[in-house]
Amino acid sequence: MAGAGSGASFDADSVDPGLASERTDLAWNRSGLALLGCGVVVVRGMTVGDPIPARIGIGTVILVLGGVVWLLGAWQAHHRRAPGLARRPARPGDLLPVALGTAAVGAAAFVLGLFFPV
């Protein structure tokens, strides 16, 4: 790494212009894949167990909520542009929906596991 560690001043064009940004994009992709794994289990539970409305409903909530949250987060992360930078660093409004959405997915999973195990 170049010697901008003090954070006092840096030239954004001269230090690591694209790779940190690319790693961050990849991290968003991995997070989407982790969510996909969650969705696969939900679909499996919906199709193997009795298709009672509650199980189908909560499962659908998890799938839709997860998909929307991740698409929103990854899309805006990829399109955050800033002068001289590959991307604009995250602001609270960028990440809070992702955190709350993931927590909501977990809450729905808790209800599914507590009341409607297959």
Partner 1 sequence: MTTPEPSDPAEGPTDPTPTPAAAPVEREPDPRFSYANERTFLAWIRTALGLITAGLVVTQLFPKFDLPFGRRLIGLPMISLGVLIALFSYTHWQRNEQAMRWGRPLPPSFLPRLVAIVVSVVAVVGFVLVLWEGID
Measured CA to CA, the distance from residue 30 to residue 27 in angstroms comes to 5
Of how many residues is the chain composed?
Answer: 118
- Can you name the residues that pair with 85 across neighbouring β-strands? 82
Report the residue number, 72 or 109, with the smaller CB distance to partner 1: 109
For the bound state, the minimum distance from the C-beta of residue 85 to partner 1, rounded and expressed in Å, comes to 6
Measured CA to CA, the distance from residue 71 to residue 53 in angstroms comes to 27
**Alpha-helix residue ranges (DSSP H) falling in 1-91:** 19-48, 53-79
By the criterion CB under 8 A, which residues form the site for partner 1?
1, 4-5, 7, 10, 12, 15-16, 20-21, 23-24, 27-28, 30-31, 34-35, 37-38, 41-42, 44-45, 48-49, 77, 85, 87, 89-90, 92, 95-96, 98-100, 102-103, 105-107, 109-110, 112-114, 117-118
For the bound state, the minimum distance from the C-beta of residue 51 to partner 1, rounded and expressed in Å, comes to 13
For the bound state, the minimum distance from the C-beta of residue 110 to partner 1, rounded and expressed in Å, comes to 5
Question: How many C-alpha atoms does 27 have within 13 Å on its Cβ side?
Answer: 7
Q: Coil, strand or helix: which one is 85?
A: strand
For the bound state, the minimum distance from the C-beta of residue 108 to partner 1, rounded and expressed in Å, comes to 9
